[in-house]
Structures are given as structure tokens and as C-alpha cells.
A and B are shown apart, each in its own frame.
Chain A
């Protein structure tokens, strides 16, 4: 049985249907990357899985459990970590407290998790007491990913985690993701950056106008194929 199973999912905002009849399956420990141009419904799909948007039709299972209809916090408590694209941090809380929001393990585990994250993003350690709102765009993304690392998830959902990150630092993100992957964590990510996706993903799916138009294993030649869908 697959780790994530999505059957003909339809969703959107109030009476606006944004995504239609999405079918996805991901096995445990695999990484699936969703690609597509702006506004094709990638974020909507992630938000629907997380329970942040209502499922209009179809259903979604995570670890054989039906999550459609559950509240976001119930889904998060199945050890699902979610990194939203916009407003993923609490700007008025310090960096340290941002890492702590929603954490429910022991203090020593928390500190261990933090150290694990700081291996990849040492700058955050220096800024622990700084207000998160004062971080640069790239540092905010590091903070969001670190919070996911701290929570030791079984499923990680990332929405454009590399958006606005300088090319020189982007490798740290892929290193961090590959570390998470080694622990057997399943990852579902939305990306605009095809080379990054190539580095971390096992499979890719391309979306257009609310539907999945291509899905395949990531490999040689995938990049060209994906870019042919994205080109403007």
C-alpha cells in the first residue's frame, strides 16, 4: 500500500475549482516533485492535502489513513510537516521560538533536532534570539526547513522551499533534504527550480491548469522534458 494515495481529488477556494481529478501515489521513502508554471494549482494541492483547503471531491490517504476531512493539526500530528510558500514563519517571534511552535517532544530531543538543522544552516544558530521577521528571504526559508527537520516528520511537504534563495546556498537545501530522505522520510515538494528538483526527487509530476499532465521517474532527459512544459 502506498504511503500517500490521492484519488481524483478536486479542490479550490469557496466556489472556485482550482484543481481537478488529481491522482497521485507515493511510496514510503520516495520523493515526488510537483512542477508547473505559476497559478496551475500546485500550492492548492498541497494545502488541500494539509487540510487547509476543503476537499470538494475525491479523497486523500496518508499512511493508509484518510486525511480528507481532518483538521490541519490532526494531520500534522500524524507526523506530517508542512512548509508553506508564503507566510511560513511567525515574524514577531524569535528564531528560536519559531522552531518551537507546535513542537511536542522532550527538550533534549528538541535541542538535538536543532543541532541537526544547524549543521546545514549554522547562520540560524547565530540568530536564535533575533526576531524572525528581520531575517532575509533565504534565511526565512532556512528557518522553515529547519523547523521541519526539528519535528522529525514521516512525511514532509514543501512548497517552493528554494524560492528567493541565492544559488550559492541552494546546495545546502538539497544536502539537508537528502539527509532527511536518508532517514526514510517521504517527501512531497513543489518546485520552480528544475535543477534543484533533479537533485532531490525520485519522481516528478507536471501540472497545468489544475490537472496533472505528466508524471514520470526523474532521470536523464527529464529536465528537458519538464522544461518543455514550463517554457513560455
Chain B
């Protein structure tokens, strides 16, 4: 009773300490059979953590994660059996970790670098598991085929029972992976899971981030496989097969994905209970697990651990420091971005036709035009969201029309989206921290509580009062604040050119005025070139240095606010008169 109460009260790390203590004391009171059962469950918990890293944290649904587990087990077993010395065991461990990494990297290079959906990733990983099982059976001279391989050597830790060694490894894995998911890199991984597009336009190579976490996860799964082979002394095709791949998903989903403790609890609980229930209620138990899995997936995506762990994500304070103001050489009104004969078509439909446009340093330029004129398509073409069909886009004398979004961000072009695009389940501070990383991989172990902002971002942060909401989750912000946060993130990238797609949509008049002031300041004081798509003509009049009218994929007019508002052509286009 006391135990359950403290379990219910406590936070994740306390729960873990409790679990580890129980596991540590277990062999002294239990039978050998039960200890060996728990030993396997601990190994499977490590396996579950590996899947949780890929799926729960990385958003990569690997339906055939058993491939990595099994490959680790087989690579270790085959090497150590064939060489047979402690060196063989050592080499086996190395191969058992690296073979899965190689496979994971290969899969990643094909799967993450094209447009992907969870369906594609799931089907490919699942088919790999089915294939691996067939291959193990087919190439029986290496693998022992159906019969498997026995006599797998134990790790040479004479004197220390393997159970304790495994427990030690488990503790290490839990600690290391907990540090990783809380680290600066962990935030990037979660950012990619939540909002791949935003992360791309913050300059991160999201395929690379996914490849990294998938390889890491694969190697950990392989390592769990090594432990399993060594502990059980026997490997068989079922270790690579699809059944185990299914089971590990069930453990993680029921326990709680996206949570190390959840995955551990799911794996331990189900693996320790299953042998008993399987004996007394053979098929019913598995069916109930399946049913429980469906219910969890549909109604409680965070698993059973979300019922135990009531601790809210505590509001972490971040310190904001401001970079010294850079002294910029102002050669006013020089071209920064040149767009020449830009064309974008989808199939036969051409959206932009031979569009040429120059963007000047420190100028605030507004683009207006009716729906479907190609305004958003223009920004998409500049930023690499849709590569243009023809024409060139040149910034600072380098062509970017064929580059990926993250490269274009790196060249100094930042953007916002029409519908706000932020990482909802991270705090405001964490969102800003992601932006200041400038697309670079961050520390895998440090959890930095400091954000180093450019002076203009800091100014905007104060003006927008977001400074007072740093510890809130971005998804909890009001719509206007989310727009402002996205703007802050774009500015934190310290761009030379800032492209804003309807930054005032859905804002009240007062908020519009505030944003207007900020934009003028950014352009005129901080010398950033700003291109704003805007519907609200009053707002345009207030802020624009130059107005461009886009109509039917081409530029209908370009000039100062006065020139534009007096042009008959523009009146016609804009009012729809004919």
C-alpha cells in the first residue's frame, strides 16, 4: 500500500530508482527461473528504449525494429563462435553494434531523403524484418537456419553473475538516454518529430537528424541483441522476425511512448507477466494485449505511464543573453536578392511566369494581389519549399534556386508561414533556443538553460511581451502570440532577407500596429530586407517602402505606395473590376 502510494506520488526518476532497487534485490529472493525471466525482461526493456528513441522521440515508426535486435544477436554470436577467444567476443560486440548501424544508415539514406510518410517507413521496416527472417533461414550455413545457434559465450566477467552485469548496463542505458532526450540535441530531435517543416526552415537538415536518431536507436537495439544472445546462450530466427518487431511496439505503446520510463515499464511488465498468462490463458492473453494496444493507440496515446506520472513538465527558467550589436556597413539600397525569370509550374498548371524581382537591403517591400496570384508560391520558390521550374534566384552572388530549404536558410533567408508554424509541445524559450542553434547539431548531453539572442530579437521579445511567457508551451499561446513567436524565431536566425506570409492574419487592429512598428524598425534600423505578403491594404500603406502587385503569376505593378494606389491597372486588378 505504501509502495503504490509512493509510486503514484513520485516523479519519473524516483520511479526508476524504485524499479532498479527491486530488480537489484530480486535474485536474492526469487527462483533461478524467475531471475532468468526478469533478466530477459531487462534486456527487452533496453530494446524497448531503443524503439522509443526512434519512434517516441524521433517519430520514426519502425515496425520491424527486431531486425536490429536480431542482427546484433547474430553478428555477435557468429563472430564469437567462429573466433572463440576473448578477442572474438570483443569483435562480436563491435560488429553486433556496427552491423545494425550500417543497415539503419542504409535504410535512412533511402527512406528519409525522399518525401516520406509513416506508411512508407512502416512498410519498409516491416518488410526488412520479414526478409531478415527468411534470409536467416535461407543462409543456414552461417546462421544455423531454423535450428538457430547455441553455445553462445557469456561475457567474460567471471565472478559477476550476468544478471547483475545486464542490470548495470540497463541502468547506464536509462541514464544515458534520459540525458540525451533532455539535452539540446534531444530538443532538436523532438522538434523534428513535431514539426519537420519548421525545423527545416530553421536551417536543420531534418533527414540527417532522423538518420542520426535511427542509427543510434539501431545500435542500441543491436546491443540489446548481443546481451540477449549472451544471456540466453541461444539465437534463433525469431529474434530478427516480425513477431518480436510487433511485440516491442506493443510494449512501448502500452507503457508510454515518448517517455523512457514508460517504455521500460511496458517492457518489464508485459515480459514478466506474459509467461504466466500465456500458460493459463494461451490465446486470450495475447488477444487482450492486442485489444489493450488498440485502445491505448486510439484513446491514450501516451500509454499507461501517463496515469502514473502526474508531474507536469516543470517550468524551466531560461536566461536570455544578448549578443553585442554588430556594426553593419550600410551601403544603402543595394540589391541583396535577385530573382530572374522565375517560373513555377505544377504539371501543366503554371503558377509563376517569368517573374523578375529585386529585393534591396533594408527595404520593406509588400506584395499584394488577389487570391491565387502566386504570392505564397513565390515565397515557396525562393525558400526551396518548391524548387522553381525555371529561372534563377541569387543571393549575394550565389544561386539558390536548386538548393534545399536548410541550405537557403544558411545563406541568410528566413521565412514565416501563413498558418503559424511553431513547435507546439516545446516552450517558448525552447522554440527560440532551436532557432538560435542556426541549424547546427547541438550537444548530446548538455541541457543549456541560456539563449543567446541577437539584439533585434531581444527587442522584439520585449516589445511583444513574449518575454513574460517564456515558460509556457508554444501551443498554449494565443494565436497572435504564436504569430509573434514565429516572427521572433525567424529573426533569431539573423537573416539578411526575411519573407513573411501574411504576418497579421487573424490579428486585431492593435496587434497589427505593433507588428507594423516592429517590421519598420527591423528594416530601417537593423537593415534587414523584408518581403511581406499582405491582404490588409491599410496595413500596407502604413509600413511599405515599396509595393509590388502580383497578378496571375506575373508582376502587374511595382512602386511606392502612392504610385500603386493611383494606378488604374492596380485598382482594376485589386478590386476585380474588368
B residues contacting A by CB (< 8 A) are 348, 368, 370-372, 419, 478-479, 502, 505-506, 509, 535-537, 565, 570-571, 574-578
Contacts and interface: CB of A to CB of B under 8 A. Distances in A.
A194 B575 contact: yes
B578 A167 contact: yes
B578 A193 contact: yes
Interface string A28-61: 0000000001111000000000000000000000
B577 A194 contact: yes
B576 A160 contact: yes
A39 B535 contact: yes
A85 B371 contact: yes
A209 B370 CA distance: 16
Interface string A195-229: 10000000000000100000000000000000100
A33 to B, nearest CB: 13
B535 A16 contact: no
Given A17-B506, A39-B535, A209-B509, A193 B576 contact: yes
Contact of A37 (B535, B565, B578): B535
10 contacts: A16-B506, A39-B536, A160-B576, A163-B576, A165-B578, A192-B576, A193-B576, A209-B509, A227-B575, A232-B537
Interface string A1-20: 00000000000111111100
Interface residues of A, number: 31
B479 A38 contact: no
B577 A232 contact: no
A37 B537 contact: yes
Contacts of A14: 419
Residue among B509, B571, B576 with most chain A CB within 10 A: B576
A231 B348 CA distance: 35
A195 B371 contact: no
A26 interface: no
Contacts of B368: 38
A37 B574 CA distance: 8
A227 B571 CA distance: 11
Nearest to A17: B506
Nearest to A43: B371
A232 B578 contact: no
Contacts of A232: 537, 565, 570-571, 574-575
A15 B535 contact: no
Contacts of A165: 578
A191 B484 CA distance: 32
A86 to B, nearest CB: 6
A166 interface: yes
A28 B536 CA distance: 34
Nearest to B534: A39
A13 B419 contact: yes
Contacts of A135: none
Given A17-B506, A162-B576, A167-B578, 9 more contacts: A14-B419, A15-B479, A16-B419, A16-B505, A37-B535, A195-B577, A232-B570, A232-B571, A232-B575
A209 B536 contact: yes
A163 B565 CA distance: 21
Closest 6 CB pairs of A and B: A192-B576, A39-B535, A16-B506, A167-B578, A232-B537, A38-B535
By CB atoms of chain A within 10 A, which of B478, B506, B537 has the most?
B506
A170 interface: yes
Contacts of A38: 368, 370-371, 535, 574
Nearest to B369: A38
Interface string A157-171: 000101101110010
Contacts of A193: 576-578
Given A37-B537, A209-B536, A232-B565, A86 B371 contact: yes
Nearest to B576: A192
Nearest to B419: A13
Contacts of B506: 12-13, 16-18
Nearest to A168: B578
Nearest to A165: B578
A192 B372 contact: no
Contacts of A167: 578
Nearest to A13: B419
A174 to B, nearest CB: 13
Give the residue among A38, A163, A166 with the most B Cβ atoms within 10 A.
A38
Interface string A118-151: 0000000000000001000000000000000000
Contacts of B578: 165-167, 170, 193
B509 A192 contact: no
A38 B478 CA distance: 24
A24 interface: no
Contacts of B570: 232
A225 B530 CA distance: 35
B479 A192 contact: no
A170 B577 CA distance: 11
Nearest to B578: A167
Contacts of B348: 133
A230 interface: yes
Nearest to B540: A232
A16 B565 contact: no
Nearest to B482: A15
B575 A192 contact: yes
A162 to B, nearest CB: 8
B477 to A, nearest CB: 9
A13 B505 CA distance: 11
Nearest to A193: B576
A14 B419 CA distance: 10
A135 B456 CA distance: 50
B516 to A, nearest CB: 15
Residue among A16, A40, A86, A170 with max Cβ neighbours from chain B (10 Å)? A16
Contacts of B419: 13-14, 16
Nearest to A18: B506
A102 B107 CA distance: 45
A23 to B, nearest CB: 20
A80 B268 CA distance: 58
A135 to B, nearest CB: 12
Interface in A76-127: 85-86
Contacts of B577: 192-195
A39 B368 CA distance: 11
Contacts of A195: 577
Contacts of B571: 231-232
Contacts of B536: 39, 209
> Which of A17, A37, A165, A191 gathers the greatest number of chain B CB atoms within 10 Å?
A37
Contacts of A40: 535
A160 to B, nearest CB: 7
Contacts of A163: 370, 576
Which of A86, A133, A166, A232 is most buried by chain B, counting CB atoms within 10 A of its CB?
Answer: A232
Contacts of A166: 578
B575 A230 contact: yes
Contacts of B575: 37, 192, 194, 227, 230, 232
Contacts of B371: 38, 85-86
A218 to B, nearest CB: 17
A86 B371 CA distance: 9
Specify which of B502, B505, B509, B570 lies most central, judged by the most chain A CB atoms within 10 Å of its CB: B505
A194 B576 CA distance: 8
B479 A86 contact: no
A171 to B, nearest CB: 11
